[in-house]
Amino acid sequence: MDKSTSESPSLRFLSGRRVSGIEEILEVFLPPSNNVPQLRALLGRLQLLRTPDWRSAARQTEGKRKRCAHGKQKRGKQGGLLARLKANAGRPPIPSLFLSNVRSLDNKLDLLRLRLGVSREMRNCAVLCLTETWLNDNMPDPAFQIDGRLLFRADRQSGKISQADCGLCVYVNKDWYTNCTLVNSHYSEAIEHKTVKCRPHYLPCEFTAVFVMAVYIPPGAKANEALKEFHNNISSLQHKHRGGVLCTCC
């Protein structure tokens, strides 16, 4: 008796016999039969037959796999920038500024705290610059402190300049910086400004620090004098700190 005929179909397949066509596969796994329609019906029930639309379905699946392998396609040169800023909204390298002309901060402090608690954009803002605060020496700093922010205030000195339309306050988010100091504070009849030097957590290596200048020009001031003083202050800062970034709120 021949050895090949005595082996079972599964043993013949495991013995290393090469199969190159559907006939040999059927010969191995199915009992001998000459009924081709019956075999086709059996393969159809097992979903082993290739239908005419098999090639198009295979191409669609292959295209989906390629797209998933490359990941989501980014839109434009700055794709994903907005998502990264939202994920780390409290610590941007360049500060986000909020400027408001409050006209008396004393009666609007509760509203300011409410807005900080409700608005996420305002809460994540790095620096708040408020003009026309109308504060004086009789109002202590603890009364105007805001949780999580460092306060810098510039009040007009009584007896020298009119108290109307005056006063600056700068609130710096403590989660944004590692070091924050006051650089200068200037006020005159034409202009008043206050400059703060900050070192944020994340800063490009080309820059050494960030300077935030809050500026207010009264309505009745002379524009030429105000611009001259403003230009002198900016030129002085750029000469002393050549590697700094200057941000103005005016």
Report pLDDT digits (tens) over 105-135.
999 999 999 999 999 889 989 999 999 999 9
Cβ proximity of 132 and 121 under 8 Å: no
pLDDT in tens, 15-60: 444 444 455 455 545 555 566 677 777 777 776 666 666 666 666 6
132: tokens are 């026309």
Cβ proximity of 192 and 169 under 8 Å: no
The whole-model pTM stands at 0.65
Cβ proximity of 216 and 131 under 8 Å: yes
Angle at alpha carbon of residue 62, lines to 60 and 68, rounded to 5°: 105
Domain ranges for the chain: 3-70, 91-249
Q: Which helix (H) or strand (E) holds 213?
A: strand 210-216
Q: Which helix (H) or strand (E) holds 154?
A: strand 149-154
pLDDT at 81: 64
Asked if the 91-249 domain carries CATH number 3.60.10.10, the reply is yes
Strands annotated E in 155-206: 168-173, 177-187, 192-200
